[in-house]
Amino acid sequence: MNALAPSGRSLAPFEARLSGVHDVERKSAAGDLARTGLPGPRVEAWHYTNLRALSGHVFAESDVLFDEKEARAVLASVIPEGSIFEKLPRLVLVNGRIAPGLSSSTASLPEGVSWSSFASAPDFGTQTSPQRDPLVALNTALASDGMQLSVATGVKAGQVLLVSLALSSSGVVSFHPRHNVALAPEASLTLIEISAGNDGQELYFHNPVLTCSLAEGAHLEHVKLQQEAGNAIHLATVYADIAGHATYESFTLTLGSALARHEVHASLAGAHAAVHVNGAQLLGNTQVGDITSVITHSAPDCISRQTVRNVLTDRSRAVFQGKVLVERVAQKTDGYQMNQALLLSPTAEIDAKPELEIYADDVRCSHGATVGALDEEQLFYLRSRGIAGAQARQMLVEAFLIEATDLVRDEVARTLLDGALADALLNRITAEERGS
């Protein structure tokens, strides 16, 4: 068992995790974290998302062994047996480690697509910044496994599933998977990422880092469904480097965990590149959901788009931080951001901070934010036709959020999100009816 103190000032031994040159990277990252600790509210990027939930706990590495029956039950809750998703190639991690018995064989992958475990061929890459990002530093110091996937030139890889499951374990645990995806020129892939856990277990902390490298003309659609256990902490970081004429499209749907943050750093490094960083959050109780992005335009004639929708009930809180940085060389930039929120409770809160930093003089950039409640006239119309109040609210909320999921181009991935969203709304209606 390897323990870590969330302050970063007392990391347990990690030298045995991997050998060779990577020890230098791990020790350097641990040193960075020891100097800074985890970010507090005085750090601008974390002003609205407080990590005090991590304080007071010493997180341990999860046990290697797990109950396979329990794992299959949790897996079936997100990938129903007999569904189209069950037929897709999948790599499954349980408590941060690849589970071969739950994953597809390499024979199921299309020709030109390969994957391996991070533990067997570790590669930290050069995209991340442990010295600037304490959570990436923590991941670099403690990563024990993850997925490394590559797609060869011109290959249309279709859909691949990356599933992370959190299962019951003794004590408070954490896991820090490291994933790398590389697309060669003109390659394409839809990566469907699912994070799930079983409710009732003790607090756990999931801190994944994903790096994406897109060569000239490549296309990656990254769709993420986050439905961790209700008391989980999920803090994810994504780095995407996008070459000329390449496109990175991402969408994250946040439904679970007590505290969640999805942070994307996208760099448009070649002319005519594009990035879309979209998402939706459905939050209740005291959940906190944070979608943060930093999009850097480093080349001319590039496009960035970001649309995020939030639905908040009870005392939940959503955070949207979107920064677009346009460097001097990035003429003809086209950037757009929009954050919209439905507040269904007087105690719910949305904190929005769109930001533009522009050094080029021939650009078209805009951002906006809207906050409101459900339309009373629409509710009255539905109620007047015999629809119960809770169901009428569900219909309007679902319509609001489905406009966001419609941005997902891959039909299979969109079906997964819409199904998870419908289930979450139905569960919410059931709870309302029980409380009434």
Q: Are 228 and 206 in contact (CB under 8 A)?
A: yes
Cβ atoms of 289 and 281 within 8 Å: the answer is yes
d(CA 68, CA 66): 6
Quick one: DSSP state of residue 132? Answer: T
The tens-digit pLDDT sequence of the chain (436 residues) is: 344 444 443 444 444 444 444 577 788 888 888 888 889 888 999 999 999 888 877 777 776 677 888 888 889 988 988 889 989 999 999 999 999 999 998 888 999 999 999 988 777 777 777 778 899 999 988 888 999 999 999 999 999 999 999 987 667 889 999 999 999 999 999 999 999 988 766 789 999 999 999 999 999 999 999 999 999 999 999 999 999 999 999 999 999 999 999 999 999 999 999 999 999 999 999 999 999 999 999 999 999 999 999 999 999 999 999 999 999 999 999 999 999 999 999 999 999 999 999 999 999 999 999 999 998 888 888 888 888 888 888 899 999 999 999 999 999 999 999 999 999 988 876 565 555 4
Q: Phi and psi at residue 30, in whole multiples of 5°? A: -65, -35
Nearest to 279 by CA among 252, 255, 304, 299: 252
Angle (CA) 48 53 56, round 5°: 140
- For 419, which DSSP code? H
Residues, the chain: 436
Cα(391)–Cα(219) distance, integer angstroms: 39
C-alpha gyration radius of the chain:
21
